[in-house]
Amino acid sequence: MSFFSDEETDSLKITRMILHVVGTKHFEAMPERALEEEAFFIGKIVDMAAAPVFMFKAVSTTRKEIEAIAAGDTSFVDGAQSLAASFNRQHVVGSADGVLLMFELAVKDPDVKIYSLIKYDYKLALEQNDGAPGKKLRRIVNALVDEKRAIQKTALVRVVGGVADQNISATDRTKQGVDLTDYFADFLAVSRAVSDTELSEITRKVLKAALQSCIAHLPGQDVAKALKKAQANLGTRRRIDEEAIVEAVMLAAGHPEDEKVANRLERETRSRVRKSKLHELSFKPDRRILRQPYMRKIVTTEGVTILFPDRAENPNVTVVDLKGDKKQIIVDTDRVTEDSVVTPKTGLPS
């Protein structure tokens, strides 16, 4: 995953856990719970482990509390109760009531501790009551159901040697994209470390790399044209996520019918999405970035090199196909700003 390394995911264990009801007027501090349903909760923690695009502000009470717990200066119970009380105070009217779970997790590296906070909505569930006549269904109102939508907010903090990492993973399903509600951001005392503009720029690079790696399968083997088509597709979306990027690449490749080709395109794209840590994110496209043309480079056998913005609208460089492999390149310009002589590269000292 983007927050956990592969080694951490394989060795992840819950060492302590506690649960508090939040959203109520009268907060009640609860004792630590015995470990239960570890596989269920680890699955939820790993599944929601988004890339750390937030960072703690210079002053963060939450960060200090977590560091104190990790260092043993504060007991896990006292620290978790204090954090839950603070979360409950900042919980705004209109937000759904639920439970705040806090976990301390261990990994293979003994110097590393990871703390997970999950705000879980209460959900209505029905359970078969085997002890009742006719095994009638029983209503369970305060159920923690196995459903991603039930998880409202999450935060993951890695502590190494008693010091919390500046970067933090956080998600909030009540907000579109990677933003957080004000009260949750204030509780954590975090701000965005990576903007939508930066994420859109990373996406451009992912598209280019994926399409370039599959150039043989593109219409006319034209990476520039395919890239413009993929970017234009993403620029029209409300949000960009892994599935949207894969769909844009498939569209740019002309939706190949050959299953092997389609599988390779998807595999190459998803691999690059994961390496760029975009696969757990959903963000608003910066249309200015996605409309920005790449620089296209043409080199001829005669030693002519042309570098120009490959614009879809109002292009001023036209490449005309002639007979055979011949091409004619026409440059339309309002004014020449430089006409100089460049020393050729001979490989010898000047």
What DSSP string describes 35-88? P--HHHHHHHHHHT-----EEE-SS-HHHHHHHHHHHTSS-HHHHHHHHHHHHH
pLDDT for residue 1: 41
pLDDT for residue 141: 44
| Alpha carbon distance 341, 333 (integer Å) | 20
pLDDT for residue 140: 44
| Alpha carbon distance 20, 114 (integer Å) | 19
Strand partners, 329: 319
Q: Which residues contact 201 (CB under 8 A, 6 or more apart)?
A: 286, 289
User: What does the DSSP 8-state code read for residue 10?
Assistant: H
Between helices 259-275 and 196-213, what is the axis angle to 10°? 140
What residues does each domain of the chain span?
Answer: 6-192, 196-290, 295-331
Widest CA span in the chain: 97
* pLDDT averaged per 10 residues in sequence order, the chain, 350 residues: 83 94 84 89 89 91 96 96 92 73 95 95 59 52 61 94 93 81 92 89 94 92 90 90 94 93 94 84 87 78 84 76 88 87 66
Q: Are 173 and 181 in contact (CB under 8 A)?
A: no
pLDDT for residue 148: 67
User: What does the DSSP 8-state code read for residue 241?
Assistant: -
Cα distances (angstroms) measured from residue 235 to each of 39, 200, 261, 285, 339: 39, 9, 25, 6, 37
Return the closest-CA partner of residue 335 out of 311, 316, 318, 310: 316
Q: Are 231 and 204 in contact (CB under 8 A)?
A: yes
